[in-house]
């Protein structure tokens, strides 16, 4: 097996510290310097990998030590072969994860760093503090579960004097300062309720990433950062996810974009034919498809267009007379009877399931999920146990069909979002990541 490239995990004490901006800046700055960088994302995030791919020119995959077994983690990490460096973006704070262990752990960025032997670069938002930032870094480095700390990047620095107050204390505690980024609110990426505005929706994204890359290159010691990286532990590769059908029509546009790269790549590698179509362009799924798959996304932002997409809806209904359809989260809502938007307007959806959902009174549903299927789901038999997550703000007003699965949170507590089934049509708020090997 070819030697694995060295890697780093870009982590932080908390969400909102600037991990994604720093990660994108590093990917683009290193790429501009002729370094082939393989990006990864820790945890269940279907938005950031698209930004990673744009910044690096290489496909980015999720690495999830709660939902994925060792074989799948090793398989995905092997995509770094041929790269010069791995940059893996963490999730939330370095030690944030579930209370209950999953397949390989609690899902923390620290676990991921230890699993692959990649040192951590800690991005610290130093707004409102000076020498205390070194105490924060020291605490993270001395935690009993700490992976090796490559150093810190100070973010949102007020000026040269501010940085000069922090660096000596970092030096005194033996922590390398790899960079200090001044405050630049103009370089932030636009956000909405589920995270960043998607990469495909930003017309000026290339220019934004270029600017972030130049900014990071100016204020981070890229040579020192590369020198701190270490080769990853290989592990024994397993199998890519198997496709649920041979010819899969999948909705792909701004309303239906939350599909994990590792699932789609696994389907392709097994020889499945992926047939994308756009409901927002009123395209019907391919009539010769064996399966129609509606991923999650933002149907609530486009509910009027979807309700008026007569060719799309007719094509869905026609397919349901002969073959299976599955919807995840946003796709599940569109398979239902009605979607009520944030203004209280009710929009008729496909009506293939009885689900009625509302965004008029938003409530966050977020967390890892286990699902045990009570009925067939495309590619999975009844009784199959799956790992995934749920992330949405919609409220279920009616879910009258038979339950698709028994769904629990990471701690084993039942959740109400069981999914639905009616004939060959299934749907769930559950975003599939992998089968549970246990």
Sorting pLDDT into bands at 50, 70 and 90, what band is 200? low
| HEC per residue, the chain | CCCCCEEEEEECCCCCCCHHHHHHHHHHHHHHCCCCEEEEEECCCCCHHHHHHHHHCCCCEEECCCCCCHHHHHHHHHHHCCCCEEEEECCCCCCCCCCCCCCCCCCCHHHHHHHHCCCEEEEEECCCCCCHHHHHHHHHHCCCCCCCEEEEEEEEECCHHHHHHHHHHHHHCCCCEEEEEECCHHHCCCEECCEECCHHHCCCHHHHHHHHHHHHHHHECHHHHHHHCEECCCCCCCCCCCCCCCEEEEECECCECECCHHHHHHHHHCCCEEEEECHHHCCCCCCCCCEEEECECCHHHCHHHHHCCHHHHHHHHHHHCCCCEEEECHHHHHHCCEEECCCCCEEECCCCCCCEEECCCCCCEEEEEEEEECCCECCECCCCEEEEEEEECCEEEECCCEECEEEEECCCCECCCCCEEECCEEEECCEEEEECCC
- Return the CATH number at 32: 3.40.50.300
Residues 21, 145, single domain; the answer is yes
Please check whether residue 239 lies inside any domain of the structure: no
Mark whether 257 and 225 lie in a shared domain: no
- Looking at the structure, tell me whether residues 226 and 251 fall in a common domain: no
Please say if 105 is a catalytic residue: no
Residues 273 and 196 in one domain: no
Q: Which residues pair with 392 in a beta bridge?
A: 365
**Is 236 a domain residue?**
no
pLDDT band at 198 (very low <50, low <70, confident <90, very high): low
194 confidence band (pLDDT: 50, 70, 90): low
Domain identity same for 216 and 332 = no
**Is the per-residue pLDDT at 259 higher than 50?**
yes
> Mean pLDDT, the chain, as a whole number?
94
Residue 242 lies in a domain: no
Q: Is residue 424 part of a domain?
A: yes
Flag whether 281 is in a domain: yes
Residues 226 and 366 in one domain: no
For 12-40, write each residue's pLDDT tens digit.
999 999 999 999 999 999 999 999 999 99
In a domain, 240, yes or no: no
- Residue 382 in this model has a pLDDT that exceeds 70: yes
Q: Is residue 1 over pLDDT 50?
A: no
Are residues 218 and 325 located together in one domain of the fold? no
223 lies in some domain: yes
Residue 398 lies in a domain: yes
Considering 92, 205, 329, 433, which one is annotated as catalytic?
A: 329
Q: Which of 196, 231, 266 is the last residue of a domain?
A: 231
Judge if 200 and 62 occupy the same domain. yes
Query: How many domains is the chain partitioned into structurally?
Result: 2
Shared-domain flag, residues 187 and 57: yes
Asked if residue 265 and residue 163 are part of one domain, the reply reads no
Same domain, 166 and 279: no
* Domain extent for 289: 247-435
User: Residue 193's pLDDT is what?
Assistant: 53
* Average pLDDT of the residues in 330-350: 97
CATH of the domain at 316: 3.40.50.880
Are 225 and 318 found together in one domain?
no
């Amino acid at each position: 097996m070819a030697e694995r490239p060295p890697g780093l995990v870009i982590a932080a004490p908390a969400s909102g510290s600037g991990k994604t901006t720093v990660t994108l800046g590093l990917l683009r700055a290193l790429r501009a310097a002729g370094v082939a960088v393989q990006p990864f994302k820790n945890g269940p995030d279907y938005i950031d990998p698209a930004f990673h791919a744009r910044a690096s020119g290489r496909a980015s995959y999720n690495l999830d030590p709660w939902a994925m077994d060792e074989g799948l983690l090793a398989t995905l990490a092997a995509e770094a072969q041929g790269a010069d460096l791995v940059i893996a973006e963490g999730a939330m704070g370095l030690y944030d994860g579930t209370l209950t262990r999953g397949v390989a752990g609690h899902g923390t960025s620290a676990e991921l760093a230890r699993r692959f032997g990649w040192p951590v670069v800690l991005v610290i938002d130093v707004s409102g503090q000076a020498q205390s930032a070194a105490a924060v870094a020291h605490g993270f480095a001395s935690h009993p579960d700490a992976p090796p700390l490559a150093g810190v990047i100070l973010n949102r620095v007020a000026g040269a004097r501010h940085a000069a107050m922090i660096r000596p204390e970092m030096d005194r505690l033996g922590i390398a300062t790899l960079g200090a980024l001044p405050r630049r609110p103009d370089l932030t990426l636009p956000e909405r309720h589920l995270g960043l505005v998607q990469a495909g929706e930003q017309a000026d994204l290339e220019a934004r990433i270029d600017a972030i890359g130049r900014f990071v290159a100016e204020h981070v010691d890229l040579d020192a950062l590369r020198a701190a990286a270490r080769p990853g532990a290989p592990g024994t590769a397993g199998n890519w996810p198997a496709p649920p059908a041979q010819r899969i029509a999948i909705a792909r546009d701004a309303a239906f974009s939350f599909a994990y790269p590792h699932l789609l790549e696994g389907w392709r590698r097994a020889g499945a034919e992926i047939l994308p179509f756009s409901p927002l362009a009123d395209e019907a799924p391919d009539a010769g498809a064996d399966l129609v798959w509606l991923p999650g996304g933002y149907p609530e932002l486009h509910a009027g267009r979807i309700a008026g997409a007569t060719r799309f809806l007719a094509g869905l209904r026609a397919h349901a007379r002969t073959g299976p359809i599955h919807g995840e989260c946003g796709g599940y809502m569109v398979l239902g009877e009605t979607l009520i938007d944030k203004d209280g307007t009710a929009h008729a959806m496909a009506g293939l399931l009885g689900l009625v959902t509302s965004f008029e009174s938003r409530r966050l549903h977020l967390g890892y999920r286990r699902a045990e299927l009570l009925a067939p789901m495309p590619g999975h038999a009844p009784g199959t146990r799956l790992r995934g997550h749920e992330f949405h703000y919609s409220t279920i007003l009616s879910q009258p069909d038979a339950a698709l699965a028994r769904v629990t949170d990471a701690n084993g507590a039942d959740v109400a979002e069981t999914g639905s089934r009616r004939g060959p049509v299934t749907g769930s708020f559950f975003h599939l990541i992998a089968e549970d090997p246990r």
